Amino acid sequence: MNIWAKMITAINGGINEAGEAVIDAQALRILDQEIREAADELKSSKDSLVAIMARQKVAEEKCYQMKEEITKYEGYVVSALDKKNEILALEVAEKIADLENQLANEKIGADSYKTSAEQLRFAIKQAEQNIKRIKQQADTVRATESVQRAQAAVAERHNGSNTKLRTAMDSLERIKEKQALKSAKFQAASEISIENNDISLQEKLEKAGINGNNNKAEAVLARLKKKK
């Protein structure tokens, strides 16, 4: 794979990730819209069911009328035969045959409408149950989302307070360190002052002709003379 193909793949991957991020951020809004669209489709299905049932009713009414008409013409055939008029009876019989063909076709249509209505009625019932279940689950998801947002806010505030607490502790340690350093400086300055005072005192003793070291040496010499 050359560099351009890799770049295109990377760009497409970034686009997909961005798209998924948008979908995730708008998941509840998308879900609500999908539920509304499903409800609209359900309404359209119910309208279609009403239309199919109306056609079924019209077809069944035609079948009923044709059956009555066939029964009526069958009576005419009997009457024609009673009067020995077979030609008229045959003509009426042809009319009956035509009506029976029409009845058969109309019955096929009526049965087809009936089957479609039953299937659509079952599909509508299933859709209603699914939409009801999805709405219930959507309410649960929405409640969970609210709880998780609240938990996230609490966690964020807790993390923020921990961060501030750590910052305060760091500031406290820096102050204590500065104070310890100042104390050490004061102590060092005091020690230096004492040393300076000791030196000044030694200088004063020497100027006065008093030498602590010589006095010590004389004492040592006197002690040794006594031992001798």
Q: Which two tokens stand for residue 76?
A: 């005419």
Q: Which residue has the higher pLDDT, 174 or 66?
A: 66
How far apart (Å, rounded) are the C-alpha atoms in residues 138 and 172?
Answer: 50
Percent of the chain with pLDDT over 90: 34
Q: Which residue has the higher pLDDT, 149 or 194?
A: 149
Q: Which residue has the higher pLDDT, 92 or 6?
A: 92
What confidence tens digit (pLDDT) does each residue in 149-168 have? 777 777 766 665 566 667 77
How far apart (Å, rounded) are the C-alpha atoms in residues 87 and 76?
Answer: 12
Distances (CA, A) of 11 to 1, 4, 24, 36, 169: 15, 10, 20, 34, 45
> Which pLDDT band, with edges at 50, 70 and 90, does 64 fall under?
very high
Burial of 59 (0-12, 13-18, 19+ CB in 10 A): buried
So what's the pLDDT on residue 93? 92
What confidence tens digit (pLDDT) does each residue in 77-125 have? 999 999 899 899 999 999 999 999 999 999 999 999 999 999 999 999 9
So what's the pLDDT on residue 146? 77
Q: What is the mean pLDDT of residues 161-190?
A: 75
> Which pLDDT band, with edges at 50, 70 and 90, does 68 fall under?
very high
How far apart (Å, rounded) are the C-alpha atoms in residues 43 and 113?
Answer: 19
